Amino acid sequence: MKDFKDHPPDIFKDVGKITLADAGEEAAALREAVEHHNYLYHVKDQPRISDAAYDRLFRRLQTLEEAFPGLQTPSSPTRKVGAPPVSELRKVRHTAPMLSLDGAIDEKDIGDFDRFIRKNTGRDDIAYVVEPKFDGFSVEVVYRDGTFQYGATRGDGEMGEDISGNLKTVGALPLTLRKGAPSFLAVRGEVYMPRRGFRELNRGRIEAGEEPFANPRNAAAGIMRQLDSRKVADKPMDIVFYEILQQEGGTFTSHWDVLKEFREWGLKTNPGNKYCSSFEEIGRYHGELYEKRDDLDFEIDGVVIKLDDYRLRTDLGARERSPRWAMAWKFPPREEITTLEEIVISVGRTGVLTPLALLEPVDVGGVTVSRATLHNEDEVKRKDVRPGDRVRVARAGDVIPEIVERIADPGRKRGEPFSMPETCPVCGAKVVREGAYAVCPAGLSCPAQLIGGITHYASRNAMNIEGLGRETAKQLVEKGKVRNIADLYRLTISELMDMEGFAEKSATQLHQAIKAGRNPRLDRFLYALGISQVGERTARILARRYGSLAALKEAGIEDLQETPEIGPEIASSVVLFFAEKENRDVLDALSRSGVEVQTLREEGATMPLRGKTFVLTGSLERSSREEAKEKIESLGGRVASSVSKKTDFVVAGADPGSKLENARKLGVRIIDEKEFEEMLSAPNSPS
């Protein structure tokens, strides 16, 4: 076969004068050469040919594929120029949960983490891998037999959105892995925009009269969720990989070894990753990276500390949202000094009045900050800040702006002290006090609370109504089209087209998105209602305990408190919500609009799996993993992502992964799908 890797020709033969067979051989050689030079440039950082020579290879491959369409392949490097737009981003379930990380700024907390690891593993010879914590956009990328299959956003950690077309345009992402990769491989990576590319992109937007992006992370997230990948192909995006989510074929015991293998397979990693065998080494690494963070061409907000030994990781397991074997050591917040111009009041969806400081815009770590939260009246008085004061502003965790302190300015006359208004600035209702907070008692009759309530109801982890964000909710309320959440289901396409920024297509898509969510899971619906003190976790606990909305509506305070993790405050809040006539009227209106909340189990049913932990591995024939998980949770059980000594059962389907071997080593009971189905139907707890 021809070889164009080291000697790209200056001139190629006219495509009109070559046979299909010759064209096929040449195209295969060109693909191999282009992928080879992509690997050298993006992964090894050792380019061997000029940009002009690379472009000749790439354009020649494009020409051949256009002249001989049968030569086109899904994994061809030419797919990096983008594909025709899609109508929407389809949902994808992750191969394994994409957990978040616990984080801390204080060194003491990181020391506590190290002591926790040593105590719970019973080992003193602990090794860690430390990596820069990219401030980017987390994704799952899946390969089968070395070929790119799809890529998805993190989403809620369980389900993301398919952005395969956009990911294919990222130069550093290989569409075909090099030799040695597992037969099935799902990896986690971070898409980001280099600072140099971000500056160039914003310069172009400003020159075109467009609003510049606030920071590289927002730019990357917005661009990667485009429906038209051709609009992504020319953007300066990059990606690094840092974790295996799922694999078939090949086993590993060391994360450091995995990172080295990544590079051999063609997956880019950060060259700043480091193997550390002591807490002192981690501290030095953190300090060095903090000192040079501004010299890097990518945004970071700390370092990630990971236990290197995979067997010990399995022993430690994970919490609901984060692994016990990893932690983020974040950098102190960036700070700058500016002028506090005015203090205004924001009314949230729960009615709490929050003072906000409007600031003279200032650049804090590459982000323009023009406002900051002051939390409550007591906080304003404690910091003694007033309009006209010079203040020190920080981005807490490099994300949320806050005022750290007032800068003394002797001799300058200061503004009037702040005091909370006696009436709601939005609806005029008399404000009431609840502890340290001032609250508008008007509920959903207050437009600000209604807008917040609709936005929350439609949010991703609630009803997940695509296209219904805060600005749309604001228009719906201000134009009088929606007076409570039930009104959403009575909206027509023509009513939506009346709103600014909506045409027939976008109005139709929103209308369909609203209608599509008429059969929500009970836990999502409870969270969507915005009941005070009922977050996602509490909503899941209540859904598993009661099984249906009807049963929960009739629950009393004492009955609720019998549920683990439900204390008197949450119980009281739930009872008060369902006792309020306005809320019951809205629930009735939702029912009349066709909203049917899924029942998790029959009322009065027992919970035979209460206290039992399951791990699922391999493919199940009778149900999907998500269906199996919901069955377990509806009967009181818990599903974990990894096998540990606390695991009660491992359910093994076809082609199980390494979890099966881990279960055998730990002596965990292994059951097949038939035993699992029998267990679900058994009237008593399994043993």
CA atoms within 13 A on the CB side of 278: 3
Token pair of 540, please? 């899941």
Q: From CA 358, how far away is CA 344, in angstroms rounded?
A: 7
Q: Measured at the alpha carbon of residue 293, what is the angle toward residues 290 and 298, in degrees to the nearest 5?
A: 145
What is the pairing mode between strands 649-652 and 613-617?
Answer: parallel
Q: From CA 405, how far away is CA 233, in angstroms rounded?
A: 44
DSSP string, 234-282: TS--EEEEEEEEEEES---SBHHHHHHHHHHHT----TT-EEESSHHHH
Tell me, what DSSP letter sits at residue 346? E
Token pair of 425, please? 């600035």
**362 beta partners:** 369
**128 beta partners:** 276, 307
DSSP string, 648-669: -EEEE-BS--HHHHHHHHHT-E
CA atoms within 13 A on the CB side of 290: 16
Nearest to 101 by CA among 139, 130, 136, 133: 133
Residue pair 457/435 in contact by the 8 Å Cβ criterion = no
Nearest to 463 by CA among 411, 502, 518: 518
Q: Please report, as a single letter, which amino acid is at residue 469.
A: G
Q: From CA 583, how far away is CA 552, in angstroms rounded?
A: 14
Cα–Cα separations (whole angstroms), residue 522 to 422, 454, 529, 600, 612? 38, 18, 11, 7, 22
User: Taking the alpha carbons of 91, 97, 98, 99 in that order, is the dihedral positive or negative?
Assistant: positive
User: In the block, which residue shows the tokens 């683990």?
Assistant: 564
**161 beta partners:** 91
Token pair of 682, please? 């058994």
Token pair of 47, please? 């380019």
Q: From CA 197, how far away is CA 220, in angstroms rounded?
A: 11
* Residue 280 CB neighbour total at 10 angstroms: 9
Q: Which of 133, 268, 330, 659 is labelled catalytic? A: 133
Residue pair 379/402 in contact by the 8 Å Cβ criterion = no
DSSP string, 593-608: TT--PPP-S-TT---T
Burial class of residue 35 in the structure, from the number of CB atoms within 10 Å of its CB (0-12 exposed, 13-18 middle, 19+ buried):
buried
Q: From CA 318, how far away is CA 94, in angstroms rounded?
A: 17
Told to judge if 133 belongs to the known catalytic residues of this protein, a careful annotator would answer yes
Torsion angle of the four alpha carbons 629, 633, 634, 636, in this order, in degrees rounded to the nearest 10: 150
Token pair of 128, please? 């860690």
3-state secondary structure of 105: coil
Q: From CA 372, how far away is CA 349, in angstroms rounded?
A: 18
User: Distance between the two ends of the chain, CA-based, in angstroms?
Assistant: 62
Q: From CA 346, how far away is CA 373, in angstroms rounded?
A: 10
**329 beta partners:** 104, 303
User: Taking the alpha carbons of 553, 557, 561, 567 in that order, is the dihedral positive or negative?
Assistant: positive
Active site residues: 133
